[in-house]
């Protein structure tokens, strides 16, 4: 495996991209989970699918756009979808959760139309749906690196604002934080991370990498910063294990990464149960 990694550029691209995604997906996921917006990743991933399908349709039917990287249009659709979600959340102030299924439905509808216009599924679209080790180009890697730098920089500089808005929005507003602006920036970050992750994890499974490591970390962490730390650790572990499994078993990496993340989650649940039982027994002996 190490020898192949050193000799083949596509494997280098896949693993470096996977390592970057293993950082930013759980990092954004930690804020998504505490804000109870877990389904937003599914909504934006389906909007991204419509962008990918549109790109493949345009590149097939318009010669001038034959070399268009589907990632670009996927990101554009995803960011646009995030803006529509924020707009709908402001329109339905007492029913903000309606925004997510509305955008999800729209994303699926547009995606199905473009897939039909492009004469159905092909190899390229399949790789975007479920991820592919061999499909990640050097251009994709550079683009995802730029997204990673942007996301990390924003979270570092706006950590306090994001933290307060995640746990106590009213207090954040009272403290002078522009909730609308921070929400907008956060939604754009979520959209960029989802679009960036699809090459490795796949559009249909990207939400899993944003939530499963966080779900596992919640079982063992004490405090939000520990939750972020464990989420990054579990995310990287799931990506590395999943990519190695995908390489040796010749499987789509999205499935192996998600199953690795689920295994980590089950292990943390088991660990918590064992430690809790030991604590109960210890208390019983003390009494």
Domains (ranges, CATH) in the chain? 12-208 (1.10.3470.10)
State which residues of the chain have pLDDT below 70.
Answer: 1-8, 119-124, 133, 279-287
Q: Within 13 Å, how many C-alpha atoms sit on residue 63's CB side?
A: 0
Q: Are 191 and 205 in contact (CB under 8 A)?
A: no
Q: Which of these, 262, 206, 215, lies nearest to 44 by C-alpha position?
A: 206
Backbone angles phi, psi at 8, to 5 degrees: -110, 125
Q: Are 47 and 106 in contact (CB under 8 A)?
A: yes
* Numbers of helices and strands, H then E, in the chain: 13, 0
pTM: 0.85
CA–CA separation, 158 and 182 (whole Å)? 8
CA–CA separation, 179 and 185 (whole Å)? 10
Query: H-helix or E-strand containing 111?
Result: helix 99-117
CA–CA separation, 239 and 134 (whole Å)? 15
Residue 121: its pLDDT value, please?
A: 58
Residue 40: its pLDDT value, please?
A: 86
With left for phi above 0 and alpha for psi between -120 and 50, is residue 250 left, alpha or beta?
left
Residue 286: its pLDDT value, please?
A: 47
Token pair for 196: 């960036």
Computed on alpha carbons and rounded to an integer, the radius of gyration of the chain in Å comes to 20
């Amino acid at each position: 495996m190490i020898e192949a990694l050193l000799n083949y550029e596509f494997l280098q691209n896949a693993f470096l991209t996977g390592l970057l995604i293993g950082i930013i997906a759980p990092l954004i996921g930690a804020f998504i989970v505490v804000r109870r917006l877990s389904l937003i990743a599914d909504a934006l991933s389906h909007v991204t699918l419509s962008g990918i399908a549109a790109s493949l349709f345009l590149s097939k039917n318009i010669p001038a756009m034959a070399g268009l990287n589907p990632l670009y249009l996927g990101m554009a659709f995803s960011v646009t979808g995030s803006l529509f979600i924020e707009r709908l959340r402001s329109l339905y102030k007492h029913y903000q959760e309606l925004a997510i299924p509305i955008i999800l439905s729209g994303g699926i509808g547009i995606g199905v139309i473009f897939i039909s216009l492009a004469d159905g599924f092909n190899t390229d679209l399949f790789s975007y749906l479920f991820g592919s080790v061999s499909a990640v180009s050097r251009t994709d890697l550079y683009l995802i690196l730029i997204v990673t730098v942007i996301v990390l920089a924003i979270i570092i500089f706006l950590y306090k604002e994001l933290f307060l808005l995640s746990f106590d929005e009213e207090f954040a507003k009272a403290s002078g934080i522009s909730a609308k602006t921070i929400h907008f920036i956060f939604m754009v970050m979520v959209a960029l991370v989802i679009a960036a992750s699809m090459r490795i994890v796949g559009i249909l499974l990207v939400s899993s990498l944003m939530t499963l490591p966080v779900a596992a970390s919640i079982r063992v962490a004490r405090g939000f910063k520990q939750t972020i730390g464990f989420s990054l650790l579990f995310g990287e572990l799931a990506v590395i294990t999943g990519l190695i499994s995908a390489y040796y078993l010749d499987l789509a990496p999205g499935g192996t990464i998600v199953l690795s993340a689920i295994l980590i989650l089950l292990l943390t649940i088991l660990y918590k149960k064992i430690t809790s039982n030991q604590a109960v027994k210890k208390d019983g002996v003390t009494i």
